[in-house]
Amino acid sequence: MKKFPWNERCIEHNLEQLPLVKDRRTKEAVYERLQRAQRKMRWRRRWLPAASMALFLAVVAVGMNAAVPERAEQQQRSSTVKMLRAGSASPQVETIMAADAAPAQEDAGVMVVGLPDEANGRVVPVAVPLSGRLAPEERFTAALRVLGRSPLRAASAWFNGVVIQPAAGGTGEWMVHVPAHHRVFSANRKEQKLFVDALVETARQMGERRLRFFTGEKEGLELPALGMVKATKIKERQRMYYKNSASFGYTVLVPAPVSARTFPEALKQMKTSTIRGLEPAIPPGVKVELADMDARHATVRIQLAAQPRAEDAARMAEAVLLTAKEFGFREVTFAADGLSNLGPYPVGTRIRVPAGPNALLMAAGR
């Protein structure tokens, strides 16, 4: 064995030349640090491959989900074109009629106000056009100004001085402030009920869930015929639209006080009426049924045994569109053999549902 040339003294001398290292850690601290490093390395070896695989699967899923709506839309367009090819050669383009818009609660240019019809004891919702961009609390007052210049000024006068504004927090609750000297406090029972029902219908058309009533700033309305009215919860309903031939001297569309479970069921119920004062908006000899639908769009097939009058066809189409809106549809396509249009509504074309009913009343009598 070869002898090492350095002796202990040489080794000590060389060690003394090294820089001084100050490490005050104990053996236990050094050992604990090594243990943490080992655990960290084991965790990386175990979970990093799994995390990489999860990320890969998530990217694949996003790509698949992005492709599914496109394929579904293509299939929807294909099925609709096949369905309508025999009945109409109209191109599939989106048309927005003069009275059409997005749902009223999302349309800054329209406010739907429920007006009390004292002669018929019924509330008639009317789509009121607004100008300019308005805050939510300004829309009702602005709509009343427009109604005050319209043939419906007498009905809208019931809301003189009434202020509707959203509660703080965006909870879907609105506050109704009625002046202490308002005419409703001296009205009869029928008028008081119509007043409250009209406010509820207005809030329902805005998509709100609850109303709170105030006399001035004091909570509650002390109505002699109805008692104290403090708040009302607006029940969610999917309603059908019917015809009323004698509201404000015109034929109007009003929602029935009952609801249907599905849109096809609503279309069946709209063919008849057992409610006094309401007539079916679908004329005799006309068959209306759902042909196809997805989350936002419905195709409604119309079959005619007799040709309806132009105004009846237009009213039927509007009633179907408004009923479709109650069930969450944004667009409707009418399919009808031998017809190119139903009043102002074209056949074979996607039509956005109206912002609200009876918009033509705003121009009637001018």
- The predicted model gives 136-149 an average pLDDT of 92
Write down the pLDDT at residue 16.
Answer: 61
- The predicted model gives 231-240 an average pLDDT of 89
Is 353 within 8 Å of 100 (Cβ atoms)? yes
Q: Which range in 56-65, 71-80, 108-117 is most confidently predicted, on average pLDDT? A: 108-117
- The predicted model gives 67-82 an average pLDDT of 42
Rounded Cα gap, residues 89 and 132, in angstroms: 38
Q: Which of the residue ranges 42-51, 218-227, 265-274, 304-313 would you say has the lowest mean pLDDT?
A: 42-51
Q: Work out the pLDDT band at 83, boundaries 50, 70, 90.
A: very low
- The predicted model gives 142-149 an average pLDDT of 94
Q: Which one has a higher pLDDT value, 353 or 91?
A: 353
Write down the pLDDT at residue 364.
Answer: 63
The pLDDT mean for the chain works out to: 79
Q: Work out the pLDDT band at 3, boundaries 50, 70, 90.
A: low
Q: What is the pLDDT of residues 330-339, one digit of tens each?
A: 999 999 988 8
Q: What is the pLDDT of residues 158-184, one digit of tens each?
A: 999 999 988 877 677 899 999 999 999
Q: Work out the pLDDT band at 275, boundaries 50, 70, 90.
A: confident
Strands (DSSP E) contained in the chain are 110-117, 122-129, 163-166, 173-178, 210-215, 218-219, 221-223, 227-229, 231-233, 239-247, 250-259, 286-293, 297-304, 331-336, 341-342, 345-346, 350-352
Rounded Cα gap, residues 295 and 139, in angstroms: 29
Is 279 within 8 Å of 301 (Cβ atoms)? no
Write down the pLDDT at residue 215.
Answer: 95
Q: Work out the pLDDT band at 221, boundaries 50, 70, 90.
A: very high
Q: What is the largest CA-CA distance in the chain?
A: 125
Is 132 within 8 Å of 210 (Cβ atoms)? no
| Element at 205 (helix H, strand E) | helix 189-205
Q: Which one has a higher pLDDT value, 338 or 16?
A: 338
Q: Which one has a higher pLDDT value, 51 or 294?
A: 294
Q: Which of the residue ranges 245-249, 287-291, 293-297 would you say has the lowest mean pLDDT?
A: 245-249
Provide CB contacts within 8 A for 35, sequence distance 6+: none
Write down the pLDDT at residue 103.
Answer: 37
Tokens of 124: 């008639």
- The predicted model gives 41-65 an average pLDDT of 57
The pTM (predicted TM-score) of the whole model is 0.69
Asked whether the predicted pLDDT for residue 59 surpasses 70, the reply is no
Write down the pLDDT at residue 361.
Answer: 85
Q: Which of the residue ranges 110-114, 147-151, 191-195, 337-341 would you say has the lowest mean pLDDT?
A: 337-341
Write down the pLDDT at residue 218.
Answer: 94
Write down the pLDDT at residue 25.
Answer: 63
Instruction: Please state, for a pLDDT cut of 90, what percent of the chain lies above it.
Output: 50
Write down the pLDDT at residue 360.
Answer: 85
Asked whether the predicted pLDDT for residue 87 surpasses 70, the reply is no
- The predicted model gives 286-304 an average pLDDT of 93
Q: What is the pLDDT of residues 196-213, one digit of tens each?
A: 999 999 999 988 889 999
Write down the pLDDT at residue 42.
Answer: 63
